[in-house]
Amino acid sequence: GATMARQGAPMIDVGGESTPPGAAAVWENDEIERVLPLVQELAAGGNAVSIDTRKSGVMSAALAAGARLVNDVSALTWDPQSAAVGAKIRPPVVLMHHQGDPQTMQKDPRYDDVLVEVYLWLEERIAAAEAAGITRDKILIDPGIGFGKTVAHNLELMYGLALLHGLGCPMVVGASRKRMIGALSNEAPTDQRLPGSIALALKAVEQGAQIVRVHDVPETVQALKIWRGLRDAALTPKFA
C-alpha cells in the first residue's frame, strides 16, 4: 500500500474479503482482524484509505482507524446496518451495481438492456441511501464491471459509461485484471492483463470516470498522464 502511494495512487483500497465470482463469505471478526492493522498503518503514514467491505462492523472499525471512504460492492444491500453507519459517520460511500451474490452472479446473468438496467438500479440505490440519511454529496457510483455480467455486458457498459453521469454522482470504475480481458486476449492469466487493464482505464476516464481502481499503479499513472497531456494539448489554443 505504501509503495502504491509512492507510485502515485491518491487512495489505497483495503479489503479483507474476496468477492469475485465463486468467492466464499468471510466472518466479520476475521475480516476486521485482516484489515485493521493495514488501515491503521497506512492512515498513520498520511495515506488516504478506503475500506472495501459489505459489513457494517468492518466499516465502523476501519473508519475509526482512519479510513476515509467506504467501497461497498453490495451497494449497502448485504448488511442492513451499513446504511446507518454511512448516515452516522458520513464518509463518502461507493455504491456498486451487481446482479446476484459472489456465489451465483456469473451463472447466466441476463439483461434486456444492461446499460439502462444498471442506470435504473443505481438510481434506486442512491434513493435508498438518501432515504437512510446519506446525503447525495457523499455518494459515488460504480457500474460493477464483472459482477453479474457477461463479456458482452461489460463491453456495452464500458462503451456507454457516460450515460451514468445522469445520476449526478462521481463514478468509480474497477476493470483492472478482470476476466473480460482474458476472454478477449487468448485467455491471458490474471498476471498478464496489464495492457488490457490500461486500455480499460483509459476508456473509463475518456467516458468521464473520476476514479479508476487499479492493481498496476505506476503503469496506469503514466498512461493517464500521457492521455491527459494529449487531451490538454488538443484543447490549448494555438497562437501564431
Catalytic residue set: 178, 213
Name, in order, each residue with C-beta under 8 angstroms of 145's C-beta and a sequence gap of 6 or more.
154, 157, 158, 173, 174, 175, 178, 180, 200
Distance CA 31, CA 90 (A): 22
Name, in order, each residue with C-beta under 8 angstroms of 2's C-beta and a sequence gap of 6 or more.
42, 45, 47
Q: Read off the C-alpha cell for 61.
A: 472499525
Residue 94 CA, distance from chain mean position: 7
- If DSSP codes are grouped into helix, strand and coil, which group holds residue 134? coil
105, 148 contact by CB (below 8 A): yes
The three state secondary structure string of 80-132 is CCHHHHHHHHCCCEEEECCCCCCCCCCCCCCCCCHHHHHHHHHHHHHHHHHHC
220, 174 contact by CB (below 8 A): no
